[in-house]
Amino acid sequence: GQNIDQPTEMTATEGAIVQINCTYQTSGFNGLFWYQQHAGEAPTFLSYNVLDGLEEKGRFSSFLSRSKGYSYLLLKELQMKDSASYLCAVMDSNYQLIWGAGTKLIIKP
Amino acid sequence: ETGVTQSPTHLIKTRGQQVTLRCSSQSGHNTVSWYQQALGQGPQFIFQYYREEENGRGNFPPRFSGLQFPNYSSELNVNALELDDSALYLCASSLEGQAFSGANVLTFGAGSRLTVL
């Protein structure tokens, strides 16, 4: 079966750095997405990786290792507004997105 | 450009009833996908519509059906509602149904929260 694993919840301090991990087992791979979802709101796109390596976009970076079935989302200089759920999703061989359950990130002052 | 809009935002139904949820895709997008998101879970793919035809379906029973209209808007219909159908239903639009590119990012609507009593 297809499976996306990510931690259920993480806590970090304002101004710090946090890394949210995602491991996956899917039938085929056509890219990995990270989305941010604030409570009661729609998921919003953060990043897309299809090749191995690090993609940096401002305070957010995303890393992919296809051989290990592993990705992480790195958030720097954390702000209170970063408190949200972070969803990892993999596009499989049928171009369908398989989603993880999300990691709830709690930022403390 | 306008984003993805969904209606209604909240609704309450009783078991056995039927519900129709509506979605207007983002301007320029021709593909619509529907997802079910239970509380504390990630979205589960229901189906996708491209050129008014279903071109992908997740593990949902036939009582979940949909339509896409010539203006690319879409409806999700659920018959014979069950208590477990209570969830946030998300619509997402994108450009192109089959070919994928890094730019083919899903744009989500805010969702319709369905409660089945």
Task: For residues A35 and A63, give the distance between their C-alpha atoms in angstroms, rounded to a whole number.
Answer: 14
Partners of residue B106 in chain A, C-beta under 8 Å? 33, 43, 45, 97
Which residue has better confidence, A30 or A72? A72
Average model confidence (pLDDT) for chain A? Answer: 94
pLDDT digits (tens, 9 = 90+) for B20-44: 999 999 888 889 999 999 988 899 9
pLDDT for position B98:
45
Residues sharing a CB contact under 8 Å with residue A45, sequence separation 6 or more, in sequence order: A33, A35, B105, B106, B107
- Determine whether the interchain pair A96/B56 forms a contact, defined as Cβ–Cβ distance below 8 Å: yes
Partners of residue B107 in chain A, C-beta under 8 Å? 45
pLDDT for position B104:
61
pLDDT for position B95:
82
Q: Is the pLDDT assigned to residue B97 strictly greater than 60?
A: no
Task: For residues A21 and A75, give the distance between their C-alpha atoms in angstroms, rounded to a whole number.
Answer: 12
Are the C-beta atoms of B39 and A39 separated by less than 8 Å? Answer: no
Selection from B77, B98, B94 nearest residue B33 by Cα: B94
pLDDT for position B40:
85
Q: Does B90 touch chain A (CB under 8 A)?
A: yes
